[in-house]
Structure 1
Amino acid sequence: MKSAPGTPEPAEFAAMKTPNSLQTEEAYAAKSGVSSWSSRVSLGYMANVLQLAIVVAMGTYIFGQMVYFTPFYQNEFRHVIGEMWGVPRNNTSGKTIGHPEMVRGTMVTLFGVVPLLGSVLIFEFLRHFNVRRVTSKYVLKVALVLRRKPRVFGKVSYWSYGEWIFFLLLVLGNVLVFYWGYDRRVKRSKANALKKKTTVKFNQYLEIVAITMGFNSIFNMAFLFLPATRNCVWMEFFNISYANGIKYHRWLGVLTVLTAVIHCAGYYWSWLRQGIWKQEALPCFNCNISPKAKDRHGYDKWFNVFGELALIMFLLISVSSIPYVRRKFYDLFYYTHQLFVLAVIFSVMHWAPIVWWCLPTVMVYCVHRAISSANAWTPVQVQELTAVDQDIVKVVLRRAPGRDGHYKVGQFVYLNVPSISKLQWHAFTISSSPRSDPTTLTVLLKSLGDWTRDLVAYADECQQQNVLPTVYLDAYYGASLEMYDEYETLCLVGGGIGATPMFAILEDLVAKLSRASDALPLRQKVVFIFSFRELALLEEVHPVLQRLQELDPTGQYVQLDFYMTRVPSDDVLDQPINYDRLQGKHVTATTYAFKAGSSATPMPFAEPLRSRTFKAVTMVVVVMTAVFIAWYIEYGGGKIKRNGREQLWPLQQFVESAMLFVVGALVFVFVLLERMAKRRGLLGSVTGDDASAASAKDYLAAETPLKLAAQQTDLHTYRDLLSNYNVTLGARPDTKALMHKVFEFHQNKDIVSLGKPVIGVFVSGPEAMKRAVEYGAADVGVSHFDIHEEEFEL
């Protein structure tokens, strides 16, 4: 029987199901956020309508940012909004009638704030269901095509079709904004010159280009903060990981700064030609800065100075964002980026209406930033901090067993260790599965910089003193990789410590099949291509591989291609496998080190505002509070600068811009209210409704925890381990050739496998490995692959 056209085909999500496994999966779904009542409600086409509404909301937001620059806005649209505030279409009285200052704010609220908040509410509702499973199969197929990278003249593009479309739309938007602004101003200048019987001078053209580029910069700023928001609703809607989507923030940042530089350079060129750059560009401290003064020179000076200060902030941020600087001096990059607050404030003080272009996205960014900051209030319980190698550390942290402690496969976290640095937070992918242990998560990290080197040394110190470190956790971020089970053939490609997301997928696959009372057989072809230098990584993943082989006793469904890029010495090969460590028997510490940390009692990590209702209410209240305050401050020509106080315009504009960041602190109030409500039992359960809570409780009672620790067999040394997995020594994988091998494995019809008839490729590692996978897939034919690449450079 065929499914409804708007829903995925059953085969696309096929898995071996038994009553026990279904019950376990339903309980797991309750933890992951799917409400129990959703299984009794069929959204049908309504799910597609709601998802279309989110797309329409995105289009409305884009329209709202662009329409201001169009002739339509100048000739018609602003008058329509103006009439709402009593502003006549043709005011020839020379006096201000109505409230024209409210026009821009109203437009941004209707076409910026409302679509963004509407998207949040719709998406939070869809979270009650499994969003991916209620998505039309046609949408999923379009997404698959957009992830592919075109090959032109034998070269595979660095960007996918989707990224190219985004880039071209961004360029097109900037071209249109510039054309509309430049054309209108040139025509106006020519008309004025014609009346005066003169011509438009070169300096006028320079200033026309300059002011138009200024508006281009504002246009780009309207989108700049969205991809920088760690859990941006529109990024989550498209399942774009924060790490993968940060490139869009970089592109917008480049365009914002570039257009701002041209904006400034155009005016400077004109001023230098006229010999007045000192009068225009340098501040004065004993001048009248009122815009209504007979000589507006003081106002013009400070108007320009605030713009110069904003540009300086943006330039400092952009210089620190150069890839080399970002990689080698990450701390400099991170702390310099905090200047964005001053950049926004000085931009608004330069030209007040900028506050409205920035308000929707800056507020969404601030809400999520405040939630992130709330994670730093309490240290997290540490179960284990072990140096498993000279350069590799294993961190096992405790998390709350309900929904607010739950994470998804492939997500990442930020860690802070006060004993190393109170200010530095570093991102690491979770290397474990939430199914294997509902109360912990594991992070594997390698010494690659100053902070991680210090952490390796600190781990040794803690082991010697038999104490646990004080650690803070900020989580969870990034897109889920749980769709790995949809494919007939799963191909995992990992390099070094970058393979940790692949470890998480393998562990999740094993845990899912092992959860049933009778372990389910593997019915998905799995290929794991793994290149590494440290034997500790192979030792660490050994328990999962051991269990995976047990699930495929005939060896039909699993192919392992392992490569150790260096040849270890005999002394290293003869070292014993540390089974005590793999089984967790080595951890005996129970007290915490508080040298440079907090005296607060460590707690299992629980993400604040995980309740869908509470989070949605918080977002709406905080953003609308900012809107109403901005309206109040501007109403009547400005609460601070009106009634003869025009010289206070810098204070007026400072208050408006600073308000964006101050109001964001309201999030902390909601976090505290949520914690109080939980302590008093007013929220019922962190897992949501009562039925979901009961399911999650049953899940925990029956399944806590799944032991994947390696069992001692005839494998005693590293030499045995390498031999067991047939590891190739002293070589790197020929990834292109291996992709052909994967395709042949996929084409083997003698092995029955369920899922999508394409190869799901998940690759995480060095850039060269990713490119080799892309070329290998292109050689075979990209239509046979669905490639998901993990990005680590934030």
Structure 2
Amino acid sequence: MYHYTLVLSFCLNIKLLFNVVVCVCKCVYIYRHDSKREEVNVMDLETSTLKIFQKVIWCFIVLISLGYMMVWLMMPTNTFFMHWLPDIQAKADPIYFGKQGTTILVYTFPIIFMATLASLYHHMMQKGSNHDIESSKMGFLRKASWRKPLFVNGHLGIISRTEFSFIIMFVVLLIWSLCSYLHGMFAKVALQAANERVQMWETKLENSALALGLVGNICLAFMFFPVSRGSSILRFIGLTSEASIKYHIWLGHIAMTFFTAHGLCYVTFWDKTHQISEIFTWNKVGISNVAGVVALLAGLAMWAATFPVIRRKFFELFFYIHHLYIVFVVFYVLHVGFSYSCIMLPGLYLFLIDRYLRFLQSQQKIRLVSARVLPCEAVELNFSKNPGLCYAPTSIIFINVPSISKLQWHPFTITSCSNTDYDTLSIVIKSSGNWSHTLYQKLSTSSSPAHLDVSVEGPYGPASTFFSRHEMLVMVSGGSGITPFISIIRSLLSKANTEGCKAPRVLLICSFKKSIDLTLIDLLLPISGTALDTSCLQLQIEAYVTREKQTEMNDRKLLQTLWFKSNALDEPISKVFGQNNWLYLGIIITTSFILFLLIIAILTRYYIYPIDHNSDLIYPYFSRSILSMFFICVSIVIAATSVFLWNKKQNKDLRQIKNTSTPITSPASVYYETEREVESLPLQSFTQLAKIHYGERPDMKKILSNCDGSSSIGVLVSGPRKMRHEVASICKSCSTDDLHFESISFSW
């Protein structure tokens, strides 16, 4: 209990630590400038203080992560189980937390503390985001070589040097853990076989089954980190949730391989030793085999639905079956007990916080302002948003339309720019599946609804982009893959018009199957895009129509714009915890975890400890696990709901103040309280400026080889898998470091 008191005291006094650092910096700064008779700049003082505090937090996170990795390296050894863990248990007070207190301290607390510090770090970064641009540029250029594709066209897709390095380290960890477990178990196999009166190979089979399950837990411990969309840890290491989905897929395949082998080995062992009835045992203490069987069956069902053949052709089946992860997690905890499941608790805990915050946001109905219906069976939706909501280009948002499906959520790239579209947020949806086709039919017919209920989750995206730091950008898109580039071009146009900075030359290469799909280029300008001076951006558009050979386009349809009625219950898209409110996210993580520890301490001290006195032989594992999982959910709900309602009240008060003091003058907002209108707009100038090639595909090798004269060329690809791999192979074969490849794709 002494160690927990120290930790909680440190967490509660971290603000005091920051104030001390601020005071010291002020004294040093004033002393240095007084000696030089210079005027003290308060803004520079705050910036320098933020930088110092960021470095302190960064060092803390790095040290904790190194210690956490050391735990994983030492965990399979006898030194860890026979010396380190018993020493920690001896120093911990078992009255309040029991033996699970040690596992929480070793496995769970470091990650929770890292997530809190990372949230505080991102909060400081947002305050000082407008400073030190040149140094971050140099850092980007130094790291560019590590982002270059190393392997292409493999089963893993496009693998960079950084990803390959981490893959090798993780595989080495799995091999090391498996060999260490087997070495320690096989050392006593003869004695174990004699005691159990079984053959030697049967004992080795049983030990191998146990070792496979232990190694599978390593994959499970990291599996939930990539699917936490607003994770501060992912942001700290430079990852986004959409780019991390492939890591979740890899970990899922590896984990289910180990768990399946784990179950098959045990079934074989029980069959050979005539103990097949062990499958149906549910022990009061220790391992519950029935729970393990249920968890494995749920995992196998999810695993079967994740393979590309099923996932892409039967997405709805995959989507609904994947909700079996709840059954898998619950019965996994019941199988191994809550104490041991603390190994995978950190990632799951952060995922539960993220998932509940998404649930709270999704309960709000969002105000849909207008929709632009394109003749290529695509539609642009324009939502009302809070002016304070900012997002980077290529960010995504998840959309749910209850009138189509109450459970299905689909991600779409945000095409608007938060620098120019202050009170609107736009996405483009191409009709390519059942859900999107139904939505297009709703909006394109003459009986389209006057109001449409929509819920959103997000936005989610990168912290910042480096597009403007290249001398030239080559954007390669296929079909609806042009949508991420719409947000990038709008952002570059905004900077060129407002900041007056020199924008990079942009070469947009877009491929379409039919000429009617060329209308997607018209979305490069927003619905109110006439205020932007397009001449400030050196934009060259090369459009390729692959399945048509005509040279003229006749009878082109016009864009149709629909304006919707507003509803009193509709709200604009507001800031979400994470990307726009890191401080609140850190508060939720900290308070919920402290509340959980307090509830567990009270429960153990006054209910469980008087019964079993930490003997682990009286109080059932099932009851302890159920109570622990329940209190985790209760703690998260209380903390997250309180902070969410507080933040919602502040946003509402701020919105009321702005509405009474400043009238809304945006082009779209004048339609909020009017009747729904339908109008047709002529084609914008971007399509007319594009050079169109019929009946051919772009020769990317020739195009990229002609992009000379620039020391830094950013090559961005968004489209089909074959296109991404082709461009990645060209960049990989390039001997120079001028080409900086980046794949922008969400078709996992």
Aligned with residue 618 of structure 2, among 646, 662, 667:
646
Answer whether contact 1:762 1:787 (CA < 8 A) is retained: yes
Aligned with residue 388 of structure 1, among 364, 374, 378:
374
1:39 deviates by: 8.4
Aligned length: 683
CA distance in 1: counterparts of 2:376 and 2:496, whole angstroms: 34
Q: Which residue identity is paired with 2:150?
A: P
Q: Deviations over 1:132-176 (max 9, x none)?
A: 957766753453222111269999973111221221122111112
CA distance in 2: counterparts of 1:339 and 1:632, whole angstroms: 32
CA distance in 1: counterparts of 2:380 and 2:45, whole angstroms: 38
Answer whether contact 1:380 1:473 (CA < 8 A) is retained: yes
Higher alpha-carbon deviation: 199-208 or 134-143: 134-143
Three-state SS of the structure 1 residue aligned to 2:419 is: coil
After superposition, residues 520-599 of structure 1 pair within 5 angstroms as 520=500, 522-532=502-512, 533=514, 534-541=517-524, 549-551=534-536, 557-567=538-548, 573-575=554-556, 578=559, 581=560, 586-591=561-566
1:368 deviates by: 1.0
* TM, length-normalised to structure 1: 0.78
Q: Which residue identity is paired with 2:442?
A: Y
Q: Which residue identity is paired with 2:341?
A: V
Q: Deviations over 1:709-738 (max 9, x none)?
A: xxxxxx9779x9766422111222112221
Three-state SS of the structure 2 residue aligned to 1:436 is: coil
1:504 deviates by: 0.7
CA distance in 2: counterparts of 1:323 and 1:447, whole angstroms: 21
CA distance in 1: counterparts of 2:123 and 2:304, whole angstroms: 38
Counterpart for residue 117 of structure 2: 118
Q: Deviations over 1:442-488 (max 9, x none)?
A: 11111111100100011124x53561311111111132563211111
Aligned with residue 665 of structure 1, among 637, 662, 666:
637
CA distance in 1: counterparts of 2:196 and 2:236, whole angstroms: 57
Counterpart for residue 28 of structure 1: none
Aligned with residue 648 of structure 2, among 655, 662, 675:
675
Three-state SS of the structure 2 residue aligned to 1:791 is: coil
Instruction: Say if 1:635 and 1:228 are closer, same or farther in 2 by CA, change over 3 A.
Output: farther
Three-state SS of the structure 1 residue aligned to 2:371 is: strand
CA distance in 1: counterparts of 2:144 and 2:566, whole angstroms: 49
Higher alpha-carbon deviation: 566-575 or 782-791: 566-575
Counterpart for residue 4 of structure 2: none
Answer whether contact 1:411 1:480 (CA < 8 A) is retained: no
Instruction: Say if 1:634 and 1:214 are closer, same or farther in 2 by CA, change over 3 A.
Output: farther
Counterpart for residue 715 of structure 2: 761
Counterpart for residue 107 of structure 2: 108
1:347 deviates by: 1.0
CA distance in 1: counterparts of 2:390 and 2:204, whole angstroms: 58
After superposition, residues 369-448 of structure 1 pair within 5 angstroms as 369-402=355-388, 405-448=389-432
Aligned with residue 513 of structure 1, among 496, 506, 524:
496
Answer whether contact 1:60 1:112 (CA < 8 A) is retained: no
* TM, length-normalised to structure 2: 0.82
Counterpart for residue 604 of structure 1: 572
Answer whether contact 1:364 1:623 (CA < 8 A) is retained: no
Seq. identity, %? 20
CA distance in 1: counterparts of 2:122 and 2:267, whole angstroms: 47
Q: Which residue identity is paired with 1:670?
A: V
Please state if 1:791 is matched with 2:740: no
Q: Which residue identity is paired with 1:399?
A: K
Unpaired segments ≥5 residues, structure 1: 1-35, 88-95, 292-298, 593-599, 687-692, 708-714, 748-756
Q: Which residue identity is paired with 1:618?
A: I
Answer whether contact 2:108 2:343 (CA < 8 A) is retained: no
Three-state SS of the structure 2 residue aligned to 1:470 is: coil
Higher alpha-carbon deviation: 643-652 or 54-63: 643-652
Please state if 1:738 is matched with 2:738: no
CA distance in 2: counterparts of 1:252 and 1:678, whole angstroms: 39
CA distance in 2: counterparts of 1:478 and 1:55, whole angstroms: 24
Instruction: Say if 1:448 and 1:265 are closer, same or farther in 2 by CA, change over 3 A.
Output: same
Answer whether contact 2:284 2:622 (CA < 8 A) is retained: no
Q: Which residue identity is paired with 1:261?
A: T
Q: Deviations over 1:737-758 (max 9, x none)?
A: 211122x2x34xxxxxxxxx32
After superposition, residues 3-42 of structure 1 pair within 5 angstroms as 40-42=46-48
Counterpart for residue 162 of structure 1: 162
CA distance in 2: counterparts of 1:156 and 1:248, whole angstroms: 10
Q: Which residue identity is paired with 1:768?
A: K
CA distance in 1: counterparts of 2:688 and 2:240, whole angstroms: 37
Q: Which residue identity is paired with 1:527?
A: L
Counterpart for residue 205 of structure 2: 206
CA distance in 1: counterparts of 2:609 and 2:234, whole angstroms: 37
Answer whether contact 1:390 1:456 (CA < 8 A) is retained: no
Please state if 1:618 is matched with 2:588: yes
CA distance in 2: counterparts of 1:418 and 1:137, whole angstroms: 44
Three-state SS of the structure 2 residue aligned to 1:727 is: strand
Answer whether contact 1:64 1:112 (CA < 8 A) is retained: no
Please state if 1:281 is matched with 2:279: yes
1:59 deviates by: 2.8
Three-state SS of the structure 2 residue aligned to 1:41 is: helix
Counterpart for residue 5 of structure 1: none
CA distance in 1: counterparts of 2:246 and 2:305, whole angstroms: 15
Three-state SS of the structure 1 residue aligned to 2:691 is: coil
CA distance in 2: counterparts of 1:673 and 1:79, whole angstroms: 44
Instruction: Say if 1:131 and 1:659 are closer, same or farther in 2 by CA, change over 3 A.
Output: farther
Answer whether contact 1:231 1:368 (CA < 8 A) is retained: yes
Counterpart for residue 3 of structure 2: none
Q: Which residue identity is paired with 2:215?
A: N
Q: Which residue identity is paired with 2:229?
A: R
Instruction: Say if 1:366 and 1:430 are closer, same or farther in 2 by CA, change over 3 A.
Output: same
After superposition, residues 295-374 of structure 1 pair within 5 angstroms as 303-352=288-337, 353-374=339-360
1:501 deviates by: 0.8
Instruction: Say if 1:570 and 1:607 are closer, same or farther in 2 by CA, change over 3 A.
Output: same
Q: Which residue identity is paired with 2:320?
A: Y
CA distance in 2: counterparts of 1:735 and 1:548, whole angstroms: 30
CA distance in 2: counterparts of 1:408 and 1:220, whole angstroms: 31
Answer whether contact 1:220 1:256 (CA < 8 A) is retained: yes
Instruction: Say if 1:189 and 1:730 are closer, same or farther in 2 by CA, change over 3 A.
Output: same
Counterpart for residue 82 of structure 1: 89
Higher alpha-carbon deviation: 568-577 or 412-421: 568-577
Three-state SS of the structure 1 residue aligned to 2:612 is: coil
1:523 deviates by: 4.5
Three-state SS of the structure 1 residue aligned to 2:343 is: helix
CA distance in 2: counterparts of 1:255 and 1:628, whole angstroms: 36
1:638 deviates by: 4.2
Three-state SS of the structure 2 residue aligned to 1:563 is: strand
CA distance in 2: counterparts of 1:214 and 1:156, whole angstroms: 24
Counterpart for residue 4 of structure 1: none
Higher alpha-carbon deviation: 102-111 or 73-82: 102-111
CA distance in 1: counterparts of 2:196 and 2:327, whole angstroms: 45
Aligned alpha-carbon RMSD (Å): 3.8
1:47 deviates by: 4.4
1:267 deviates by: 1.1
Answer whether contact 2:193 2:200 (CA < 8 A) is retained: no
Q: Deviations over 1:530-555 (max 9, x none)?
A: 22230221233367799665225xxx
Instruction: Say if 1:394 and 1:717 are closer, same or farther in 2 by CA, change over 3 A.
Output: closer
